Amino acid sequence: MEHEWRERTRPLRLERRYEFQDYESLRDFLDRAAEVSEQEGLYPDMGFGRDYVNVTIHTDEDTNELGEQQHRLASQLDALLNS
**What DSSP assignment string belongs to 3-60?**
---EEETTTTEEEEEEE-SSHHHHHHHHHHHHHHHHHHT---EEEE-SSEEEEEEEPP
Question: What percentage of the chain has pLDDT greater than the value 90?
Answer: 80
pTM of the full structure: 0.89
- Give CA–CA dist 8/28, Å, rounded: 27
Residue 2 has what pLDDT? 53
Residue 63 has what pLDDT? 79
Domain 6-81, what fold?
Answer: Gyrase A; domain 2 (3.30.1360)
Specify whether the CB–CB gap between 31 and 71 falls below 8 A.
Answer: no
